[in-house]
Amino acid sequence: MKKIIVIDGTWDTQTQAIQYALKASKGTDTEIVGVFLAADSGKETIEKAEAVLKTVKQKMASEGVGFSSYVVAQDAQAFMKRINDLMPASLVIVGDVKFSADMVKGGVSTEALREKLACPVTTTENIAAASHAEEKPSKGTNWGMWIVYAIASALMYFVFFPNVKMLNEKLFMTGTVLGAIATMAVVVIHAWVWGNTTHILPKLFKLEK
């Protein structure tokens, strides 16, 4: 069974983080654990949080998803102890939560969680941004154009380059406006042609889609 921990400070059934966790758990054997970071440790606040989480639990049950929850006050030590007790997890989603200055001083923040926890830690903003990016139609690789760029690059290096010595004396290094403009023109053309030839490398290494 996999486990997703959702950390949020404004729980309800429509909380963005819980929606994402639900989406991710669909079709998999996944338990969702909610950690409600309360604004203070007052009795009223805790009771209110527990009531909200009860509603969320009912909603989860209706969706057939296992759900358990904890309310934690803004105390760095108590918070980290709770998170560590919940490990191992498959993912931590940080939702709409504000870590107090004392929590940050005590080493609790989204970035700190990323450093400390072995599992991936993401935020609702990151998920939203990535979802948006995925919705964009992929441009794909235009192999026809790539071949054109590759041939042009080969010409630049194997035909043009050996002649630069001669062209330096006649044009590029003459110290004239024409020479400077010609130099820049070559740079623009070459960077464009060679850049479009090499831009495919991260895709070839599967670093990008």
Partner 1 sequence: MVDAAAQAIDKVTVVTQIFEAAPWTMLGVILLGFLGGTISGFIGSGGAFLMTPGMMNLGIPGVMAVSANITHKFGKAMMGSKKHGELGNVDRKLGIYLLATAAVGINGAVWVNGYFFEKLGKAGSGLYVSAFFVIVLSIVGASLFKDAMRSAKEPGAGPSDKLLKLSKKFQIKPLVQFKVAKVEVSLVVLLVVGLATGYMAGTIGVGGFIGVPAMIYVFGVPTVVAAGTELFLAMFMGAWGAFNYGLQGYVDLRLTLLLYAGSLMGIYFGAVGTKLVKELYIRMVTAILILLCVVSRALAIPGYCKNLNLIDISKENIQMLEMGSKFFLFGSGIVATFLVLFWTFSAKAKEKKSNELGFSHGLK
Q: Does 199 bind partner 1 (CB under 8 A)?
A: yes
CB nearer to partner 1: give 61 or 185.
185
Site string for partner 1, 31-60 (x = CB under 8 A): ------------------------------
Q: Please identify, among the stretches 8-16, 47-55, 112-120, 144-152, the one whose residues bind partner 1 according to the rule CB under 8 A.
A: 112-120
CB nearer to partner 1: give 56 or 80.
80
Long-range CB pairs of 187-194 (<8 Å, 24+ gap) are 189/156, 190/156, 193/149, 193/152, 193/153, 193/156, 194/149, 194/153, 194/156
CA 166/CA 164 separation, integer angstroms: 5
Q: How does strand 2-8 pair with strand 121-123?
A: unpaired
Three-state secondary structure call for residue 176: coil
Q: Does 147 bind partner 1 (CB under 8 A)?
A: no
Size of site (CB under 8 A) for partner 1: 68
Q: Does 17 bind partner 1 (CB under 8 A)?
A: no
Closest CA to 36 of 61, 54, 60: 54
CB nearer to partner 1: give 13 or 90.
90
* Cβ–Cβ < 8 Å for 10, 52: no
Place of tokens 């009223």: 44
Name which position in 10, 109, 146, 150 contacts partner 1 (CB under 8 A): 109
Number of DSSP helices (H) and strands (E) in the chain, helices first: 10, 5
Q: Which of residues 162-181 bind partner 1 (CB under 8 A)?
A: 164-165, 167-169, 172-177, 179-181
Q: Does 159 bind partner 1 (CB under 8 A)?
A: no
The DSSP line for 104-149 is HHTT-SHHHHHHH-SS-EEEHHHHHHHHHHHHSPP----HHHHHHH
CB of 89 to partner 1, least distance (A): 11
Say what the alpha-carbon torsion angle 51, 55, 60, 61 is, to the nearest 10 degrees: 100
Residues in touch with partner 1 (CB under 8 A): 2, 4, 20-21, 23-24, 26, 28, 30, 90-91, 93, 104, 107-116, 119-120, 122, 126-127, 129-131, 133-134, 156-157, 161, 164-165, 167-169, 172-177, 179-181, 183-184, 186-188, 190-192, 194-195, 198-199, 201-202, 205-208
